[in-house]
A and B are shown apart, each in its own frame.
Chain A
Amino acid sequence: MRKRLIPCIFLKEGMIVRSEDFLTHQVIGNPINQVARFSDWAVDEIVYIDISQNNEYDNRRSDHKVKVPNDKFSLLSDISKHVFVPFTFGGGVRNIQDIAKILQSGADKVVLNTGMYIDDNLLLNAVNIFGSQALVACVDYKDGFVYFKHGKFKSQYTVSRWCVIIQNQGIGEIILNDISRDGKGDGYDIDTIREIVELTTVPVVALGGAGDYFDFGECFNEANPSAVAAGNIFHFKEHSYFYAKKELEREGVDIRIEHIGLKEGIGEIK
């Protein structure tokens, strides 16, 4: 099984945002343009997380050529038409109907977070209906404790305790997101990632802190997660996904290399 490198896209009110400290969200683009780009690059997987805290979508801006739909599910449905790699979607999932709607709109996996805290039975019921493989937990944490509600509410759970609970309830995959590293570019939280990788049997995805391509290799080599994910680095650095993979290959990490031409003129990845 190859290690995966996953672009993670944060949406707020219908637009892509750059996130820092879970607080600052700078609008940086249109989600449909971006997903087509990622799909051309043949990325390993794409994760979208909608961090809108209300349901108002304001994306009728005239400076974007492609019109973006006005609600989460039609946006998701439009995005999914351009994705021929695994596609994970989350944000604000509170009940079984939300999960069913996201899957029906074209996602392959659904991210759960605060919903599992509010409703003790949500994960158990969801596993029964959709199977573990469709369910991914995003675990936001700071200083060893898990936070919910957009990183604003500190829970009594340590990261390891929460991960064991959701694993026992049948979660299919765990994304570990270190809040204090969000948008910082200082590298991943190796210690926590390694601890959870060793503690659990489900695939673990590291998120939060990638600043340059060396951070990915360091994380794989020292903490051994199944995948590393990052947001900002893939938006701001030109051809970043291609160069990140090149660097991982050079460092001997077992990753997937697609030998296809890229539309943006880099040529073949060899």
Chain B
Amino acid sequence: MIGVINLGNSNLKSLTNTLDFLKINYKVVTKSKELKDVKKLILPGVGTFGNGMERLEKLDLITTIIEEVKIKEKPILGICLGMQLLFESSEESIGVKGLNLVKGKVISLPKSNNYGIPRIGWAESAINSDFLSLEKNDTVDFYYIHSYYVKPYDANIISINTDNNITASVKYKNIYGCQFHPEKSHIKGLDILKSFSD
């Protein structure tokens, strides 16, 4: 059973529609106890870094997430803002502390002629190291929609890169993060969710 953490004003239904379609067992969780009862966690989310952390704080989930992931080594998949929340802090919401499960910061996207901001659309993404269903050296198109991206201190944990050297995904121990939206990236994205759930 996978616990999908409900961050409130997000596109939660997009993700649960996809999990339903894939026949993956999940439940939407908002309580500490529910989080402890599931085997794996997905932290989805859109919106701002500050709002996301505020919501986790209101639900009183921060300590539990850290315990379950860091100490009990429960696999977690952060998607978009959900992945950013796994880091220390973000330029988007100065002064707000993140979950600090992965060392590094969330920073503004560099300006580029290649995209507008928010950076919206499909982008070619290079797989540097195996990531769930994806194999090293492959390139795949994924759907992105964001204005910030993560910069881990240890570049070795970056498993996928996209345009302008933007971090597309990280893998650190039992922690997985995708900046793109697997639930919105058609077959290749759905494969990632399937692989995480297996």
Selected from B12, B20, B143, B144, the residue in CB contact (under 8 A) with A85 is B143
CA–CA, A203 and B144, complex, Å: 13
Considering the chains assembled together, what is the distance between the CA atoms of A239 and B146 in angstroms?
32
In the bound complex, CA of A106 to CA of B17 (Å) = 8
A133 with B118: CB separation less than 8 A: yes
Contacting B117 at CB < 8 Å: which of A80, A86, A131, A201? Answer: A201
Check A108/B184 contact, CB under 8 A, given A2-B141, A80-B13, A84-B189. Answer: yes
Q: Is A104's beta carbon under 8 Å from chain B? A: yes
Chain B residues in 8 Å Cβ range of A100: 9
Q: Which residue of B lies closest to A81 (CB)?
A: B17
Interface 1/0s, chain B 1-26, versus A by CB < 8 A?
00000000111111001101100000
Interface flags for B139-177 (1: CB within 8 Å of A; 0: not) read: 001011111000000000000000100000000000000
Dominant secondary structure of chain A at its interface with chain B: loop
0 or 1 for each of A100-125: is its CB under 8 Å from B? (1 = yes): 10011111110000000000000000
Select one of B14, B20, B114 contacting A87, CB under 8 A: B14
Q: What total of chain A residues lie within 8 Å of the partner, measured CB to CB?
A: 40
Complexed CA–CA distance, A210 and B146 (Å): 29
Let me know if B187 and A42 touch, CB within 8 A: yes
Known: A133-B147, A202-B117. A85 touches B13 (CB 8 A): no
Is residue A23 contacting chain B, with contact meaning CB distance below 8 A? no
> In whole angstroms, how far apart are the Cα atoms of A202 and B189 in the complex?
25
- CB B105 to nearest CB in A, in angstroms, measures 19
Give complex CA distance A108, B12 in Å. Answer: 9
Q: Which residue of B lies closest to A106 (CB)?
A: B13
With beta carbons under 8 angstroms apart, the residue of A77, A84, A202 that contacts B18 is A84
A134 and B46: CB pair below 8 A? yes
B121 proximal to A (CB < 8 A): yes
Tell me whether A86 and B145 are in contact in the complex, defined as CB-CB below 8 angstroms, given that A130-B46, A201-B117, A203-B120 are known contacts: yes
Q: Are A260 and B187 in contact (CB under 8 A)?
A: yes
Number of B interface residues in the complex (CB < 8 A): 40
Asked if A95 is at the interface of the complex by the 8 Å CB criterion, the answer is no
Instruction: Name the interface residues of B82-129: CB closer than 8 Å to any CB of A.
Output: 114-124
Q: Which residue of B lies closest to A103 (CB)?
A: B11
Q: Are B118 and A172 in contact (CB under 8 A)?
A: yes
Q: Which of B9, B115, B141, B184 contacts A84 (CB 8 A)?
A: B184
Contact of A203 among B10, B116, B143, B146 (CB under 8 A): B116
Q: In the assembled complex, which residues on chain B have CB atoms less than 8 Å from the CB atom of A83? A: 17
Known A84-B183, A131-B46, A202-B116; judge A106-B14 contact (CB<8 A): yes
Contact among A86, A131, A203 with B47 in the assembled complex (CB-CB below 8 Å):
A131
Contact B186 A258 (CB under 8 A): yes
Closest residue of A by beta carbon distance from B187: A260
Q: Is A30 an interface residue (CB 8 A)?
A: no
With a cutoff of 8 Å between Cβ atoms, the chain B residues found around residue A223 in the complex are none
CB B138 to nearest CB in A, in angstroms, measures: 12
Task: Give the nearest-CB partner of A173 in chain B.
Answer: B120
Residues of chain A lying within 8 A (CB to CB) of residue B117: 201-202
Q: Judge whether A1 is part of the interface by a CB distance below 8 angstroms.
A: yes
Question: Among residues 167 to 193 in chain A, which have CB atoms less than 8 Å away from a CB atom of chain B?
Answer: 172-173
A136 to B70 Cα, complex, angstroms: 38
Q: Could you tell me if B46 and A227 are in contact, using CB atoms closer than 8 angstroms?
A: no
Within B37-55, the residues touching A (CB, 8 Å) are 46-48, 51
Is B190 interfacial (CB 8 A cutoff)? Answer: yes
* Complex Cα spacing A203 to B48, Å: 19
**Which residue from chain B places its CB closest to the CB of A105 in the assembled complex?**
B13
B interface, CB within 8 angstroms of A: 9-14, 17-18, 20-21, 46-48, 51, 114-124, 141, 143-147, 163, 181, 183-187, 189-190
Which of A's residues lie within 8 Å of B, judged by CB?
1-4, 42, 44, 77, 80-81, 83-87, 100, 103-109, 129-134, 172-173, 200-204, 226-227, 256, 258, 260
User: Which 5 interchain pairs have the tightest Cβ spacing?
Assistant: A106-B13, A1-B115, A203-B116, A131-B47, A256-B122
Q: List 5 other contacts, CB 8 Å, given A4-B122, A103-B13, A108-B181.
A: A81-B20, A84-B183, A103-B11, A133-B147, A202-B116
Q: Can you list 9 residue pairs at the A/B interface with Cβ under 8 Å?
A: A1-B114, A80-B17, A84-B189, A86-B145, A129-B9, A130-B9, A131-B48, A134-B47, A227-B121
